[in-house]
């Protein structure tokens, strides 16, 4: 489970992580590094049934190629949500 999460996050870092730059954030740029995230593990469902799962919280900041921190381009990341889940 832990390795699958790491693989899915690396998949996102490789394919879906960009920053927004320029006036109104219209320009999408590569980043220098990956995502900053943490996970919260749960072992059961809301009904108390066994259901191992993690909630991943992703920082909205990424390090640009120029060494400056900027907002993540969430539109690209959002488009990869299903794909990352399937990758997991």
CB atoms within 10 A of CB 31: 19
More confident residue, 25 or 21: 21
The pTM score is 0.81
Give pairs for 41-46: CB < 8 Å, separation 24+.
Answer: none
With pLDDT > 70 as the criterion, what percentage of the chain qualifies?
Answer: 100
pLDDT of 3 above 90:
yes
The pLDDT of residue 23: 84
pLDDT tens, position by position, 34-71: 889 999 999 999 999 999 999 999 999 999 999 999 99
pLDDT of 25 above 80:
no
CA distance 58 to 35: 7
The ranges assigned to domains in the chain are: 2-87
CA distance 24 to 14: 25
């Amino acid at each position: 489970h832990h390795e699958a999460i790491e693989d899915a996050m690396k998949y996102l870092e490789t394919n879906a992580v960009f920053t927004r730059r320029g006036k109104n954030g219209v320009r999408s740029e590569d980043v220098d590094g990956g995502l900053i995230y943490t996970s919260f593990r749960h072992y059961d469902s809301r009904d108390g049934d066994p259901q191992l799962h993690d909630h991943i919280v992703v920082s909205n900041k990424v390090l640009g190629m120029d060494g400056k921190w900027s907002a993540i381009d969430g539109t690209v990341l959002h488009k990869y949500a299903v794909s990352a889940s399937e990758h997991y």
